[in-house]
Amino acid sequence: MLLDVVRVDARDGHLLFLEFENGERRVFDMSDLFAERPFDRLKDSPLFAAAQVGIGTVVWPGNIDIAPETLYLDSEPLAPGQVVSAQTLPAGGAGSE
């Protein structure tokens, strides 16, 4: 099942707070992807904060995007009303199993 991203908020700690079309809210840690192209251009750059929703996923200026299934499968769910920061994530970040 492919779910579109309908809202994104890029935050400190290289985190993306996401809402999917089914109403589910999740947090995705981009840190592990910064070693790969094209995401290396987002590391420690103001471009990271320019994340927005486009074509059902998260996109950045410079023609950078990430597959929505990656965002969903490698993220952690948020409980309703849960506030999360980099300090409260499980060890290994939002994508840890």
pTM of the model: 0.81
Question: Would you call 59 helix, strand, or coil by DSSP?
Answer: strand
SS3 content of the chain, % helix, strand, coil (to 5): 20, 30, 50
Question: Which tens digit of pLDDT belongs to each residue from 28-81?
Answer: 999 999 999 999 999 999 999 999 999 999 999 999 999 999 999 999 999 777
Residues 6+ apart with CB under 8 A from 34: 14, 40, 42, 43
Compute the distance between CA of residue 78 and CA of residue 2 in angstroms, rounded to an integer: 19
CATH number of 5-78: 3.30.2020.10
